[in-house]
């Protein structure tokens, strides 16, 4: 009876439009709001003059785990993967950094080594701000300090939400959730109304979810058979976000 009631509740929520996919994704994704919007002209001038923007090819390493930072990186367009090397010498992806997000600024502020390596997942446009210039503006600008504090608080909440949800769910549920998260990241570079193509290797996808490539492929094949996604080669397109979100079960409605 409990299971029947739960399924009925899911169906009721689905039909009444109460599903909050975007709200869930927002809880688990870092925002793409620029730290520099609205800064005083003098501070912005320092940032602009010191920023170097360049195109970086796929598989370019921007900074490495264990090395002290030389500056911060703004992803103007594209996607990065952040990973650590585990005790077996394998890479463990801990996060993705998309368009509008700043990478590598926490070690700059704390004067600590990078906790992870950042590598481009695709051809990217990256804006680099030297450490000296970033700290100069940070030290003189209350606006940037306040915005940075808000961003750090938001990111902490995201980490807590993500760890909580990912550790409570099955691998299948985490695959569904990761698809929704990656769709949001890739969708930042796509014109509204156009399909969002998630272009990631199965190895990287499985690495992030914490499963084997074989298990991931089986789950994706199930989703494809259910017409939740289309998949060809590395590319995945979500066809039915609402039905895919139903794979998250009770956690989705928390």
Summarised one tens digit per residue, pLDDT across range 171-192 is 999 999 999 999 999 998 888 8
pLDDT of residue 189: 86
Domains of the chain: 2-29+169-253 (1.10.10.10), 41-160 (2.60.120.10)
Q: Average pLDDT, whole number, for the chain?
A: 86
Would the pTM count as exceeding 0.85?
no
pLDDT at 88 over 90: no
β-partners of residue 75 are: 126
pLDDT at 6 over 80: no
User: Residues with Cβ < 8 Å from 114, sequence gap 6 or more?
Assistant: 63, 64, 65, 66, 67, 68, 69, 104, 107
pLDDT of residue 148: 86
pLDDT at 221 over 60: yes
The residue ranking higher by pLDDT, 129 or 193, is 129
Mean pLDDT of 95-124: 94
pLDDT of residue 196: 94
pLDDT at 216 over 60: yes
pLDDT at 155 over 70: yes
Question: Which two structure tokens, joined as six digits, stand for 31?
Answer: 């925002």
pLDDT of residue 69: 96
pLDDT of residue 169: 87
pLDDT at 250 over 60: no
pLDDT of residue 32: 61
CA–centroid distance for 244 within its chain:
19
126 touches 56 (CB < 8 A): yes
Mean pLDDT of 103-128: 95
pLDDT band at 90 (very low <50, low <70, confident <90, very high): confident
154 touches 30 (CB < 8 A): yes
| Percent of the residues in the chain that have a pLDDT greater than 70, as a whole number | 87
Lowest mean pLDDT among 45-49, 62-66, 119-123, 194-198: 45-49
40 touches 143 (CB < 8 A): yes
Within 10 angstroms of residue 208's Cβ, the number of other Cβ atoms is: 23
pLDDT at 197 over 90: yes
Mean pLDDT of 127-140: 93
pLDDT at 100 over 60: yes
pLDDT band at 249 (very low <50, low <70, confident <90, very high): low
pLDDT of residue 237: 97
């Amino acid at each position: 009876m409990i299971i029947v009631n739960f399924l009925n509740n899911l169906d009721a929520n689905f039909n009444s439009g109460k599903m909050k996919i975007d709200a869930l994704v927002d809880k688990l994704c870092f925002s793409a709001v620029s730290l520099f919007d609205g800064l005083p002209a003098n501070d912005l001038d320092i940032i602009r003059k010191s920023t170097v923007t360049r195109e970086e090819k796929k598989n370019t390493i921007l900074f490495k785990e264990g090395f002290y930072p030389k500056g911060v990186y703004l992803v103007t367009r594209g996607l990065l993967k952040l990973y650590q090397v585990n005790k077996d010498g394998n890479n463990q992806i801990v996060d993705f950094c998309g368009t509008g997000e700043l990478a590598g600024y926490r070690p700059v502020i704390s004067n600590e080594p990078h906790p992870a390596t950042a590598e481009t997942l695709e051809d990217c446009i990256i804006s680099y701000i030297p450490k000296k210039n970033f700290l100069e503006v940070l030290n003189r600008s209350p606006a940037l300090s306040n915005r940075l504090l808000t961003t750090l608080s938001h990111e902490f909440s995201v980490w807590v939400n993500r760890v909580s949800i990912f550790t409570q769910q099955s691998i299948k549920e985490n695959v569904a959730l990761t698809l929704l998260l990656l769709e949001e990241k890739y969708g930042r570079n796509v014109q509204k109304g156009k399909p969002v193509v998630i272009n990631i290797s199965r190895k990287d996808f499985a690495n992030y979810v914490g499963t084997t490539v074989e298990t991931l492929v089986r789950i994706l094949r199930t989703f494809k058979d259910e017409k939740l996604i289309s998949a060809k080669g590395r590319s995945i397109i979500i066809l039915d976000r609402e039905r895919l979100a139903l794979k998250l079960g009770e956690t989705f409605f928390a």
